[in-house]
Amino acid sequence: MDKFVINGGKPLSGTVMIGGAKNASLALMPATILANGIYHLHNTPDLRDILTMGRLLETMGVGVSLVDQTLTIDTKTMNSYEAPYEHVKQMRASIYVLGPLVARFGQAKVSLPGGCAWGPRPVNLHIEGIRKLGAEIELDAGYIIAKAKRLSGTRILFDVSSVGATGNVMMAAVLAKGTTLIENAAQEPEMVQLSEFLVKMGAKIHGIGTGRLEIEGVDELHPADVTTISDRIEAGTFLIAGAMAGKKGGMIRLEKCNQHHMGALIVKLEDIGAKIRTGADWIELTPPEKIYAVNATTAIYPGFPTDMQAQWIALMSLAQGTSIVKDTVYFDRFTHVPELIRLGANITLKENVATVIGVKKLTGAKVMSTDLRASASLILAGLVAEGTTEVLRVYHIDRGYESVEKKLQALGADILREKGEEF
């Protein structure tokens, strides 16, 4: 397994190009199942998760190729309706194929995702939603087996706002007979993009970007092309890298990003003392003289993203004063905390609340990452820690950050990937 070796304390400045949003691509790719033909998904990031979703589609007979950030998908040769455990266990987003398969082919066999590194992540809302659309669903030997003649429109209320369930049920409802109302739908930019893509394919969806989606089912959809939105979490992670590098560094400029998707983080970064300037597709951050301690509570969009919680804790570990960081979306998503403590951070964790007392410095050590955003926070900490930090098991970071070490090197970081054995 590869590891990163980081010699911390180097000033960071310069420009970073932000890639396409992983979580948008992971929803757009399965949507292609809904119609026969060839699609071009531009600005698709070259990430391990995208490869995994591509392989899953290939097992169903779909043609998939990624060249120069354009993903070409050919669904004309599709010949299977099954998502095997081998793929789903690698990536939970594989469950996105459930809705499109049942809607278009009236059948699906999709492995249940099981647990995740930071605790249980249920898919009950996906299953209940698609069942409410009229599918017969049973769970058998770890698989969701779904059947339907044709789905029919209904009213659905999500007790919890869920990105995945919104996407899955929406992809099922677009081909249902009649109108479906989804109340408490997720409003994340990735779901807005999925809705707009479905509309481009011929779907009829009203209320896009709101918590109430009204979907008039159509008989047939057609392929369409799309340019994936930029990754707000990758962008946010680089802004925090700049903020942590502090006054030794200079300005960090992000290009090909969308500030409108990052409102909560931008406000928080200004609160810690960073100066932010924004333009149509760029953001510039001038790091603060000193980092003020600022609390953060994660929430669904447009609140502070859970996918930035680990990076925020890394930043707060060097702040002046004490901050409280609470995750209300995923209560157990704190595997980075014990590792940050190994680097010298002062963090106390009680249930889903981390109390972070800022320290003067972090010190390099060997740390191990256990999930994607935890890896990002350990790299951020390693970049400012005195001495050498080794971040082990970086395959997690490759799931969601394209060429992260190259982008950081270009900003002046001393970070190297040491190749290890494939796992």
Q: Which is nearer to ligand EPU, 133 or 274 (CB)?
A: 133
Check binding of 29 to ligand EPU (CB under 6 A): no
Integer Rg of the chain from CA: 21
Hey, what amino acid is at 398?
Answer: D
Q: Which is nearer to ligand EPU, 93 or 205 (CB)?
A: 93
Tokens linked to 149: 């003649």
Active-site hit among 116, 157, 267, 416: 116
Q: Which is nearer to ligand EPU, 57 or 245 (CB)?
A: 57
Integer angstrom CA distances of residue 257 from 28, 196, 250, 306: 19, 19, 19, 19
Report the C-alpha gap between 117 and 1 in whole angstroms: 18
Report the C-alpha gap between 149 and 25 in whole angstroms: 29
Q: Which is nearer to ligand EPU, 78 or 308 (CB)?
A: 308
Tokens linked to 356: 């972070």
- How far apart are CB 189 and ligand EPU at their closest, in Å? 11
Check binding of 20 to ligand EPU (CB under 6 A): no
Check binding of 162 to ligand EPU (CB under 6 A): yes
* The one segment of 121-129, 170-178, 196-204, 242-250 that binds ligand EPU by CB under 6 A: 121-129
Binding residue for ligand EPU, selected from 163, 229, 316, 347, defined by CB under 6 A? 163
Binding residue for ligand EPU, selected from 6, 26, 213, 378, defined by CB under 6 A? 26
Q: Which is nearer to ligand EPU, 23 or 389 (CB)?
A: 23
Report the C-alpha gap between 192 and 205 in whole angstroms: 11
Q: Which is nearer to ligand EPU, 228 or 362 (CB)?
A: 228
Report the C-alpha gap between 289 and 275 in whole angstroms: 10
- Cβ pair 301, 186 in contact under 8 A: yes
The closest of 291, 73, 298, 33 to 171, measured between CA atoms, is 33
Report the C-alpha gap between 59 and 56 in whole angstroms: 5
Q: List 205's β-bridge partners, or say none.
A: 215
| Count of other CB atoms within 10 angstroms of residue 263 | 14
How many residues bind ligand EPU, per CB under 6 A? 23
Binding residue for ligand EPU, selected from 10, 87, 261, 373, defined by CB under 6 A? 373
- How far apart are CB 190 and ligand EPU at their closest, in Å? 6
The closest of 48, 45, 55, 143 to 423, measured between CA atoms, is 48
Check binding of 256 to ligand EPU (CB under 6 A): no
- How far apart are CB 388 and ligand EPU at their closest, in Å? 27
257 is catalytic: no
Q: Which residues bind ligand EPU (CB under 6 A)?
A: 23, 26, 93, 121-126, 160, 162-165, 186, 190, 306-307, 329-330, 372-373, 400
| Catalytic (active-site) positions | 116
